Structure 1
Amino acid sequence: MIRYMALFWEYIKNYAKTRLTYRADFWIEVISDLLFQGMNLIFILVVFQHTPTLGGWSEAEVVFVYGFFMIPYGVFSTFFGIWNFSERYIVKGEMDRVLTRPAHSLFQVLIENVDPPSLIGSLVGAIIMGICWAELGLPFGVIDVLVLLLLVLGAVLIYAGMYTALSAISFYSDAPTGIVPLIYNIQNYGRYPVNIYNKIIRFFLTWLLPFAFVGVIPASFFLEKKADDLSQLALLTPVMGLIVFGLGLALWNHGVKRYRGAGS
């Protein structure tokens, strides 16, 4: 563990040196991320200009869920941003370089693509949650902070497991799968109350591609939403995270064993 932490620190220092050389690029990335998240928030606010509630959820509650959604997504994007894995590591052959080094291949790929500016999104999400928390008059204590951290960790693991599995599919095909953009769009459904969808979509988002566990379900714990027993499912988020990440890591390890190199 100490060795891996030392490697991570060295990569972070190299990242900082690069960003200090191109500071404008750093701030452009931060601002563009904030604008993107801002547009999503504006969309929610516009919806509530035409309806007082959404599936029994008030505007403040839905914005609260969106704030929670941003926190694990920002952490995930920082440490698991492997969107271009297939093109860079399989098609261009960089996986061959990774496999010559005495460290786990997934760890190497992750730290080569670390993106600290994405943590700004998590900070903004926490601020949004705090504002809505006060507006809704929700109780707040030390136990709430601990539960929040646990639920965020579970949500991050769900993201990590899903996208690790999607990246691992590239080991079985030399061509980009094209499925990542589709899953990216599906994950956004997790920031809305699942009870607004029909039963099939609700089941799909909860148990097959469990993106409801990265937003609305864990957030419902603090809102104490009883609809569809969401608040009771919230504490399953860490368990779901461990299961999904374990499956994603297993698929990755199997894919690495199957990988035969980029060829000549």
Structure 2
Amino acid sequence: MFYFTMFFQYMAQYLKTKFEYRADMVVKMFSDLLFQATNLVFILVVFGHTQVLGGWNREEIIFIYGFFLVPYAIFSSFFNIWDFNERYIVKGEMDRILTRPIHSLFQVMLERMELESLFGAVVGIVIMAYASFNLNLQFHWYDIIIFIVFSLGGTLVYAGIFVSIASISFWSDARTSISPMVYNIGNYGRYPVDIYNSVIRFILTWILPFAFVGVYPAAYFLNRHEWLFYSILTPVMGIIFFSLAIVLWNIGVKRYRGAGN
């Protein structure tokens, strides 16, 4: 209950600051929408030259992209830790974090939250609805629960990967980071893994499992039964990778000696 209370108190303060500068919030939402539209246009351009990509048609690819946007939006809202190394390690703000009686990662999450990024989840659902209509997909009442579980699983996969990368900062205070490179790899999770060679497919499934953010969970709703096992594995992979990230983070915090050393 203490953590829930802290979460809503931070959220309330965040909303107060954002509504104080409404134009900034609108600009951020518009820029996110423009970015998502650009990626969607790219898909349309690709299918302007072919009818099928690796056995997947245009609407199926669009559906996968729409699903991908949902966990990605949740991740972007609560795990905005791209600059963790620069801000908290190099500049020493981790010292302030560790003086408070609450888990350090939870504090960083709350300080860096960007709730306006949740608008991307709405866009993703709209895109999925459009693709579903064109594909004549049929859903059951329990698919809503499965959708929520898969979305949270995909979010935890994303969070686990990038929290692990942020944890490396406890051992290395270099200003450069591998986050941009890994982020670019994550974009491959928006597309079916069977269009890639076996090495990339293995990496996207077991090493940097971004496929569990987009294509694998989306395949369940597209009735791709050959991917059913991977679809069901989505929340499991999320829990495993996020748990490993927490362990790595806690080890790093114990090793941390402060900005002055």
Aligned counterpart in structure 2 of residue 230 of structure 1, from 223, 227, 232: 227
Per the TM alignment, residue 176 of structure 1 is displaced from its structure 2 partner at its CA by 2.8
Q: Distance in 2 between matches of 1:237 and 1:98?
A: 32
* Partners of 1:67 and 1:126 within 8 A in 2: yes
| Corresponding residue for residue 112 of structure 2 | 113
TM-score, normalization by structure 1 = 0.97
Whole-Å separation in 2 of the counterparts to 1:33 and 1:108: 25
Query: When the two structures are superposed, what TM-score results if normalisation uses the length of structure 2?
Result: 0.98
Provide the C-alpha distance between the structure 2 equivalents of 1:255 and 1:196, rounded to a whole number of angstroms: 37
Whole-Å separation in 1 of the counterparts to 2:182 and 2:254:
25
The Cα of 1:70 is off from its aligned counterpart by: 0.2
Name the structure 2 match of 1:170: 169
SS at match of 2:253: helix
Q: Which amino acid aligns with 2:18?
A: R
Partner of 1:91: 90
Q: How big is the alpha-carbon RMSD for the aligned residues of Structure 1 and Structure 2? A: 1.0
Maintained 8 Å contact 1:194/1:216: yes
Listed as ranges, the matches of 1:1-264 within 5 Å are 2-226=1-225, 229-263=226-260
Q: Distance in 2 between matches of 1:225 and 1:19?
A: 42
Give 2:48's aligned amino acid.
Answer: Q
Aligned partner of residue 56 in structure 2, secondary structure: coil
Is this contact kept in 2: 1:138–1:223, CA < 8 A?
yes
SS of the aligned residue for 1:142 comes to coil
Residue 231 of structure 1 and its aligned partner are, at CA, apart by 2.6
SS state at 2:106 partner: helix
5+ residue gaps in structure 2? none
Q: Is the partner of 2:69 in helix, strand or coil? A: helix
**For 2:233, what is the secondary structure of its paired residue?**
helix
- The CA deviation at 1:189 is 0.1
Task: Give the stretch that moved more between structures: 84-93 or 12-21.
Answer: 12-21
2-side partners of 1:115 and 1:34: how far apart? 15
- Give the Cα separation in 1 of the matches to 2:259 and 2:95: 7
Which stretch shifts more, 119-128 or 171-180? 171-180
**Residue identity opposite 1:256 in structure 2:** V
**Matched-pair identity in %:** 56
> Which letter does structure 2 place at the counterpart of 1:108?
Q
Which deviates more, 137-146 or 212-221? Answer: 137-146
Name the amino acid aligned to 2:205.
T
2:210 and 2:9 mapped to 1: Cα distance?
A: 33
Superposition misfits of 4+ residues, deviation over 6 angstroms? none
**What is the CA distance between 1:249 and its match in structure 2?**
0.5
| Cα deviation, residue 250, structure 1 | 0.5
Query: How far is the alpha carbon of 1:139 from its aligned partner?
Result: 1.2
Aligned mates of 2:144, 2:16 — CA distance in 1? 34
Per mean C-alpha deviation after superposition, the further-off stretch among 64-73 and 9-18 is 9-18
